[in-house]
Amino acid sequence: MFESKQETDTMLLMLNSWIGLLLGILSISASLGLKLKSVRIPPYKHRLESALLECHYELNGQRKGHSSLDGTNRRHHAYQNDYLSERFDEKERLYSIKWYKDNEEFYRYVPSAPQPIKSYKIEGIAVDPNHSDGTKVLLRRLTLKSSGIYRCEISAEAPNFDSVQGEGRMDVIILPKDGPHISESERKSYHNGETMELNCTSGRSYPASNLQWYLNDVLVTDPNNIIHYPSFQNQHGLITTFLGLSIVVNNRHYIDGTIRIKCMASLSPVLWRGGQESIVQWEQPTIDNRVAMLLVKSSGNVQSWNICIVLVSLLLYLQSTLLPRVA
């Protein structure tokens, strides 16, 4: 009985050892495979800027690429052109790295080829081969045609023939040279019950600017007050947007006798934001022609002025009716 238990314990110990060994081998094999660590593609770039696309991977436990890089613009000449050393280290393992824009190949890196780097002509793509290698591609002088989805594809040689890929979108933008403009109106004052109509026009940009109206610094959200117009795109691809405002004026719109109206244009909260303000003066309803000048010049409290106007009108009426009797 005792010997049987001892043999069983020995077998369990050996079995656990074998399981641990197999798990270790599987772990090592997995860690030595081809892994995609990160794909870095700047989401926004300005026209004529440069963009650095990065594809960091791990092959046989060795990481390729610089972890300190990010997707923003830099002084690209500071980077080392190290594809020759990668070619020496990886020629039996890495097969190729390919870059695509909207599923069309524009760059290929094959370390075993006589010329490892090869680029293909695509509209909107201008590769700088002197600052591109197996982990990064530098694009120069971006245009609106450079916008799209970029994908890198990494392939390994035999025996596994592994393949990994990653992608991201980049949009090339053009900011407006000037802010939005509120249409000039001959009228600077309105009576209660009158409709105030204004138009806001954005500067030319790409993509289209988003316009919003603010009334006394409060965003106008009522669709009955907002008029949407079709945008206009010129021959260079720049877009101008228009937005109308229509409000029936009443007392609650005025603060100290004025309405503050603002048109705000934005491409992205992070990228650009600009606005224009317009001041509309208060003009109370005409009660009597003889006191109209007081109403036009009035900038005080609306209710108090209405009471004063009623009293003045009443006194004038009594004066005009009593004087003939006295005479």
Each residue of 42-97: pLDDT tens digit? 999 999 999 999 999 887 665 666 543 344 333 333 233 333 334 434 434 788 99
Place of tokens 């209710």: 303
**314 has a pLDDT exceeding 70:** no
Q: Which token pair is 253?
A: 């719109």
**257 has a pLDDT exceeding 60:** yes
For the residues 168-189, what does the mean pLDDT come to? 82
Q: Which residue has the higher pLDDT, 78 or 308?
A: 308
Minimum mean pLDDT among 34-38, 115-119, 235-239: which range? 34-38
- Coil, helix or strand at residue 198: strand
CA distance 255 to 286: 20
Specify the pairing of strand 94-101 against strand 62-64: unpaired
Q: DSSP character for 131?
A: G
* 172, 73 contact by CB (below 8 A): no
Q: Which token pair is 162?
A: 């592994």
Q: Hey, what CATH class is 181-282 in?
A: mainly beta
Selection from 168, 135, 153 nearest residue 42 by Cα: 168
* 227, 200 contact by CB (below 8 A): no
Segment 183-208, tens digit of pLDDT: 866 667 778 888 888 899 998 999 88
For the residues 129-134, what does the mean pLDDT come to? 93
* 111, 135 contact by CB (below 8 A): no
Q: Which residue has the higher pLDDT, 138 or 20?
A: 138
CA distance 183 to 229: 14
So what's the pLDDT on residue 291?
Answer: 25
Cβ-proximal residues to 35 (8 Å cutoff; 6+ apart), any chain? 57, 58, 59, 164
Query: What does residue 228 show for φ and ψ, rounded to 5 degrees?
Result: -95, 135
So what's the pLDDT on residue 32?
Answer: 57
Length in residues, the chain = 327
Continuous H helices in the chain: 2-31, 83-90, 292-297, 302-326
* pLDDT band at residue 289 under the 50/70/90 scheme: very low
For the residues 108-113, what does the mean pLDDT come to? 91
- Coil, helix or strand at residue 283: coil
So what's the pLDDT on residue 57?
Answer: 86
So what's the pLDDT on residue 59?
Answer: 76
CA distance 168 to 13: 50
Phi-psi region of 251 (alpha: psi -120 to 50; beta: other; left: phi over 0): alpha
* pLDDT band at residue 278 under the 50/70/90 scheme: low
For the residues 117-145, what does the mean pLDDT come to? 94
Cβ-proximal residues to 262 (8 Å cutoff; 6+ apart), any chain? 213, 214, 215, 217, 275, 276, 277, 278
Architecture of domain 32-173: Sandwich (2.60)
Segment 19-42, tens digit of pLDDT: 555 554 444 444 457 788 889 999
Residue type, 284: Q
CA distance 242 to 227: 9
Minimum mean pLDDT among 209-213, 252-256, 264-268, 298-302: which range? 298-302
Mean pLDDT, the chain, integer? 73
CA distance 284 to 263: 25
